[in-house]
């Protein structure tokens, strides 16, 4: 019986996720599920990306509690919706469906900042076009080995805070080997959300994904 309940929950989530994808196509929008640990720099990475994109963008912020990150985003003039899970370790499709009703996403790129966690968010489909895994230099080079699912499922992996590389012991080769072993066709970008290093290559790739989706 327990297995049936779990199955039903996942089926319901996946049904809503499919409906979200259909709606995004109608609204000519693309949604990115940004996943990373607390402190990986997800919010700064998202805001720096929007700053450089030149494309209409909106943000859905997911947190266990508080609206600290959404206030940062709103302070930059970026439309944002806050989702507080009240203890839940990830966002689900129903939460996203409700959030999308509160914001104008026509012809936009939607950045979903999932709850800070490398495990649960990797397993739940929220109707996104693709996942982006964000890891950072201070976290160490072993994240792909300890938390393989998110790196395996992400279309792109972002190594953030590379401006700190000179101050820390970080084995770049080991990090790349870990990611590519899990996801040979995935893309890896090294960026600094503070000084903008590496953002140009990431933005070029992101714009291409948006263009390819709608043959713009």
Residue 165, pLDDT score: 96
Identify the CA nearest to 124 among candidates 214, 20, 210.
20
List the strands of the sheet with 187-190, edge to edge.
80-84, 57-63, 109-113, 30-36, 130-136, 156-160, 187-190
Where in the chain are the domains?
2-214
Residue 112, pLDDT score: 98
| Model confidence at 68: pLDDT above 60 | yes
Residue 5, pLDDT score: 57
Residue 215, pLDDT score: 83
| Model confidence at 6: pLDDT above 70 | no
What's the pLDDT tens digit per position in 88-104?
Answer: 999 999 999 999 999 99
What's the pLDDT tens digit per position in 111-151?
Answer: 999 999 999 999 999 999 999 999 999 999 999 999 999 99
Residue 89, pLDDT score: 93
| Model confidence at 62: pLDDT above 90 | yes
Residue 169, pLDDT score: 94
Residue 10, pLDDT score: 82
Q: Are 134 and 33 in contact (CB under 8 A)?
A: no
Average pLDDT, whole number, for the chain? 95
CATH superfamily ID and name for 2-214: P-loop containing nucleotide triphosphate hydrolases (3.40.50.300)
Asked whether the CA dihedral 44, 196, 110, 120 is positive or negative, the reply is negative
| Model confidence at 4: pLDDT above 60 | no
Q: Are 49 and 78 in contact (CB under 8 A)?
A: no
- Tabulate helix, strand, coil % of the chain (nearest 5): 50, 20, 35
- Residues in a beta bridge with 189: 158
Residue 22, pLDDT score: 98
Q: Are 142 and 174 in contact (CB under 8 A)?
A: yes
Task: For residue 47, give the 3-state DSSP assignment.
Answer: helix
Residue 158, pLDDT score: 98
């Amino acid at each position: 019986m327990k297995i049936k309940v779990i199955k039903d929950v996942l089926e319901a989530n996946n049904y809503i996720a499919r409906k979200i994808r259909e709606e995004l196509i109608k609204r000519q929008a693309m949604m990115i599920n940004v996943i990373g640990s607390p402190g990986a720099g997800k919010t700064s990475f998202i805001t720096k990306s929007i700053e450089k994109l030149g494309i209409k963008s909106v943000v859905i912020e997911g947190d266990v509690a508080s609206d600290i990150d959404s206030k940062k985003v709103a302070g930059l003039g970026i439309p944002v919706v806050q989702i507080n899970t009240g203890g839940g370790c990830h966002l689900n499709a129903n939460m996203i469906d409700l959030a999308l009703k509160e914001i104008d996403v026509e012809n936009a790129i939607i950045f979903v900042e999932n709850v800070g966690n490398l495990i649960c968010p990797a397993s739940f489909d929220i109707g996104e076009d693709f996942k982006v895994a964000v890891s950072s230099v201070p976290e160490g080079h072993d994240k792909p080995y300890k938390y393989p699912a998110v790196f395996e499922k992400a279309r792109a992996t972002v190594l953030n805070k590379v401006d700190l590389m000179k101050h820390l012991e970080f084995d770049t080769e080991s990090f790349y080997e870990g990611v590519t072993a899990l996801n040979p066709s995935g893309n890896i970008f090294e960026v600094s959300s503070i000084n903008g290093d590496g953002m140009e290559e990431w933005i070029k790739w992101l714009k291409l994904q948006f263009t390819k989706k709608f043959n713009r």
